[in-house]
Structure 1
């Protein structure tokens, strides 16, 4: 993020670094310009030392890579981010994908109050001199801060369901389904991102997942109880949490006890008539 990462001649020949999109435990994500056609892409810098040994896989097409890259190289769906290439650097694996979504801020000229109803005012931000600019998020978390029409929420959720249905048909589970891992453009076209926790659905109970790397608010009761889980069933639970979040703009569960009990309350500002129309 400081601009001090040494990059290979290959990278510098093909890309120019742009803005910061986000960072986390395994690395960070930047935009970049692909010099061959001036296309803006997203590049995830994955710290090699943070990749668990069991997350590496021998892919018959592209060799030994993190499973995230192998899975993205295999799939092709309009609601899942497109894999472009990966670059093996000295300290990082660079995952290059398409860049999708628009910055959800009223200062963005692509957005307008008519097409994007409920668009909030631009946030007041302190301007600081930085080596890399932090770009306003393009994800669903920012988008649902607006008041959306029923048809819009249906359109968004249907696309997410189609993406998850496609993954399950290939015996793949994302395992970190949440609003921040869904990027969305001004036309409400969504794409699922961040396959760092994705894996193949285990066939035998003894191989069920025991580790969870996702966000607790979207975790199913069996995960919160630290039980072994298969994956798809937990992902259906996460879809339900997402639907509630999209419709009401807030998470249905505030703590682990509420998740384990399946206990939630609709927002007090919602009356029964509006609730029926929302669904």
Structure 2
């Protein structure tokens, strides 16, 4: 018997093991918009996977169904060491199951919390992997649009794995890289998502989110979340007013080089924000270029 199955049965002796296709379903790893993500073990090969179980009953609108279809289509089209791998899609009367690589190192969010913040050599390696994955996506005309710590996992070798492509979208050419749907998590979303006429450059939005992630890696907290009038960032309009009117502050332990990179990425005006190529060429990432 697989060790994960034996451990689960020891912890839950009264529960019947659930099966989904060729997989035994064990503990819940997380909850998404449309259902749960469970650890699965292949009954023949013992391979551990993450099974994203989506209840068909939750896909009650065209918009919701299109998000699931888009995520599957994007994942079928990508192959990169820092992007979660899609193994299979299993459909039943009640569920759509997306069978994904299991990144057993947990969320990057929890890894940072456990250390309070990351030292720059560790952060530089992880950030280079994130940028490598995002650059690959953009080279395939895909923008993620919901990059945040909770959507970055670690594998057993402590490498970054980008997940959750429900908001991802494609564009035909760099000239067509204009998106219209506002999405993503407010604290990671670029100002132009709220304060423009409804169109924005998707690749630039991903770069802003990567800047927020890097700031959180190095400081242990998010930038721009210290507005006394809006402490939780719940009021999106207040949040973006604050971003536009506040100079970015840094903890004293962050190096000048890292601050310079962040000041190039977290630029409210998207046309003045660093491009991905400029980020990749920055001296702070030289060790992992």
CA deviations 1:181-230 (Å, max 9, x no partner) are 01013532111011111110265999943323311100001113263223
Q: Which moved further from structure 2: 210-219 or 252-261?
A: 252-261
Which of 72, 82, 87 in structure 1 is aligned with 2:75?
72
Q: Deviations over 1:43-63 (max 9, x none)?
A: 111233444525767xxxxxx
The secondary structure found in structure 1 opposite 2:109 is helix
Cα shift readout 1:80-100 (whole Å, capped 9, x = no counterpart)? 011100011223211001101
Q: Which residue matches 2:262?
A: none
Are the structure 2 counterparts of residues 72 and 276 from structure 1 closer, same or farther at C-alpha, using a change threshold of 3 Å? same
Moved more, 197-206 or 37-46: 197-206
Does residue 191 (structure 1) correspond to residue 161 (structure 2)? The answer is: yes
Describe how 1:249-264 pairs up with structure 2 within 5 A: 249-254=220-225, 255=233, 256=239, 257-261=241-245, 263-264=247-248
Q: Is the 8 A contact 2:50 2:101 kept in 1?
A: yes
TM-score, length-scaled by structure 2: 0.70
Aligned-residue CA RMSD (Å): 2.7
Structure 2 gaps, min length 5: 1-14, 226-232, 234-238, 259-283, 285-289
8 Å CA contact 1:152, 1:188 repeated in 2: no
Counterpart of 2:41 in 1: which secondary structure? strand
The answer for unaligned runs of 5 or more in structure 1 is: 58-64, 103-137
Task: Say yes or no: does 1:53 pair with 2:62.
Answer: yes
Tell me the equivalent position of 1:165.
Answer: 135
Query: Hey, what's the Cα distance between the residues in 2 that align with 1:202 and 1:212?
Result: 19
Whether the aligned pair in 1 keeps the contact of 2:193 and 2:200 (CA below 8 Å) is yes
1:40 has 2:10 as partner: no
Residues 200 and 191 of structure 1: is their aligned pair in 2 closer, same or farther, counting only changes over 3 Å? same
Partner SS, residue 70 of structure 1: helix
Corresponding residue for residue 31 of structure 2:
23
Give the whole-Å Cα distance in 2 for the aligned partners of 1:182 and 1:24: 14
Matched residues, number: 225
